[in-house]
Amino acid sequence: MNIIKTNRVALMALARNKMRSFLTALGIIIGVGSVIAMVSIGQGAKADVEQRFEEMGTNLLTVRPGSMSFRGRHGGGGSRETLTEGDAEAILESCDAVEYLSPSVNTRKQVIYQNKNWNTSIYGTGADYPLVRNWEIDEGQFFTSQQVRGGQKICVLGSEVTQNLFEGAPAIGQVIRLDKIPFRIIGVMKTKGESGWGSQDDVIFIPYTTAQMRLLGIQHIHSLDVSSFKGRTAEAQTQIEELLRLRHKIAPGSDDDFYVRDMSDIAASAAESTQILTLLLGGIASISLLVGGIGIMNIMLVSVTERIREIGIRMSVGAKERDILLQFLTEAIVLSLLGGILGIALGIGSSKLIDHLSQMSTVVSVGAIVLAFLFSGSIGIFFGFYPAHKASKLDPIDALRYE
């Protein structure tokens, strides 16, 4: 028997038992579909993390005060009051790798507008804060450097605060009160969405000088948000650290009274965590592929037992061992590949359904599809070889006598 005739016999045998063939392939279908769906969830989580850090700016550095220690007690990061407006001006003037910088102070206040009120975060920032954070204005404008220096009582609202206070009515030009102090609204930020720290839109921005004088009564800065030129983040970090050590008169070998955090490192760590999650989900789903392969081997062994006389007849009319081996191996491979194709459709459909019905985003990876398909074919060869080998080694005379 040539290869074409052998393959035709194998396909005819599968066609005679359509329901059995489908149920045999069902394990592979579910396995491949599960792998694609689980990997797409992991890839979606990774893409979501990368997108959020991209929106924040991966060239972003945050400078914060260090920990204050007194008689063995450590206050934690930010407990010292070491950052000043002069530090911000010096960084902009001396660090050529720094593109934008915004001093920041923050607090929480109850904001009042007519008969409505809302408790929200108040961020005192510089004029370049939208450039540092890659955040666009939706309506109106952000405050200018002159308005910051003048300590004007103006503000820019996040979209969530705008919705809760104005419920769709125009907000620009209206006056709200923070600690009984009137602030005129000059702008509304575009919606940013959720982050790992809650809603980014539940916020009000005011000039940091106004926040220092009017709301907090302080002269120091809580943090410095710095944006470096593209590709120069590490250089900017080094320049800032050297400059602040010099300005704060920190002796060689002594601990810094500040720390600089690189958001790209955090983004890389988050992406690595989601990649591990993807591999874990894919590994768990792959177990069902192995179960499907065992199911194929089991059914093929049953099929060999049922068709012993048929095998004997084919051998008696000239079929060789390799023809019988190829026939049953072809059946196993066809079942696996057919299950793989249907599993791909199931996996893609499941991923789209999860993306549509839940808040989880999914990304269907071409690599995952190809890998799952190749894996399903490999399972057909691996688990189909033993039943095929067993069938090919049957003695023709014993096979013909089998009842």
Q: What angle, 0 to 180 degrees and rounded to 10, lies between the N-to-C axes of helices 18-56 and 366-392?
A: 150
Q: What is the pLDDT of residue 7?
A: 58
94 and 172 in a single domain? The answer is yes
143 and 182 in a single domain? The answer is yes
Determine, yes or no, domain membership for 67: no
Determine, yes or no, domain membership for 172: yes
Per-residue pLDDT of the chain (403 residues; tens, 9 = 90+): 456 655 565 567 666 777 777 777 888 888 888 888 888 888 787 777 666 666 665 588 999 987 544 344 444 444 467 899 999 999 999 999 999 999 999 999 999 998 999 999 999 999 999 999 888 999 999 999 999 999 999 999 999 999 999 988 999 999 999 988 999 999 999 998 766 556 789 999 999 999 999 999 999 999 999 999 988 888 999 999 999 999 998 888 888 888 888 876 666 666 677 777 777 777 777 777 777 788 878 877 777 777 777 777 777 777 777 877 787 788 788 888 888 888 889 888 888 888 888 777 788 878 778 888 887 788 878 887 878 777 777 776 666 665 5
139 and 205 in a single domain? The answer is yes
Among candidates 287, 322, 324, which has minimal Cα distance to 399? Answer: 324
16 and 127 in a single domain? The answer is no
Determine, yes or no, domain membership for 222: yes
Tally of CB atoms within 10 A around 228: 26
Q: What is the pLDDT of residue 146?
A: 95
Which of residues 210, 229, 256 is at a domain's end?
256
292 and 184 in a single domain? The answer is no
Which of residues 231, 256, 281 is at a domain's end?
256
Determine, yes or no, domain membership for 274: yes
3-class secondary structure per residue, 105-122: EEEEEEEEECCEEEEEEE
3-class secondary structure per residue, 125-175: ECCCHHHHHCCCEEEECCCCHHHHHCCCCEEEECHHHHHHHHCCCCCCCCE
Q: What is the pLDDT of residue 78?
A: 44
Half-sphere exposure of 117 (CA within 13 A, CB side): 10
331 and 247 in a single domain? The answer is no
Q: How many domains are there within the chain?
A: 2
110 and 25 in a single domain? The answer is no
Containing structural domain, residue 302: 3-52+269-401
303 and 281 in a single domain? The answer is yes
Which of residues 256, 287, 317 is at a domain's end?
256
Q: What is the pLDDT of residue 343?
A: 87
Determine, yes or no, domain membership for 262: no
250 and 287 in a single domain? The answer is no
Half-sphere exposure of 141 (CA within 13 A, CB side): 5
Determine, yes or no, domain membership for 57: no
Determine, yes or no, domain membership for 264: no
338 and 313 in a single domain? The answer is yes
Q: What is the pLDDT of residue 72?
A: 42
Determine, yes or no, domain membership for 64: no
Beta bridge partners of 261: 62
Cβ contact 243:90 at 8 Å: yes
Helix/strand/coil for 220: coil
pTM attached to this predicted model: 0.62
245 and 154 in a single domain? The answer is yes
Q: What is the pLDDT of residue 50?
A: 66
306 and 374 in a single domain? The answer is yes
